[in-house]
Structure 1
């Protein structure tokens, strides 16, 4: 296949896929998904900070 033909087909398919993805994003309910994604993100940040923080020895009483 000629490289220019291949590139034209690739661009056409990429345009189709972008249009499909855009339509899917608009149809999906964003509110609940966004809240879940935000909560999961902050949970991962908290977990990472706990892993990085140095452990302090417990004081004997």
Structure 2
């Protein structure tokens, strides 16, 4: 696909998603809740990435 066409399709889809997001606003949340969900997201990303190059050990149950 040509780069200009790809960029135009991406911009169109992004505009559609922004429009849909405005129809369903998220409720205002406390700072504690936002920090908690951010920590959950970071934890999930770390768990998905697997062991690090530093040789971190994971505990296994028998």
User: What TM-score do the two structures reach when normalised by structure 1?
Assistant: 0.46
User: What TM-score do the two structures reach when normalised by structure 2?
Assistant: 0.45
Structure in which a larger fraction of residues adopt helix: 1
Structure with the bigger RCO (C-alpha within 8 Å, sep 6+) is 2
Q: State the structure with more CA Rg.
A: 1
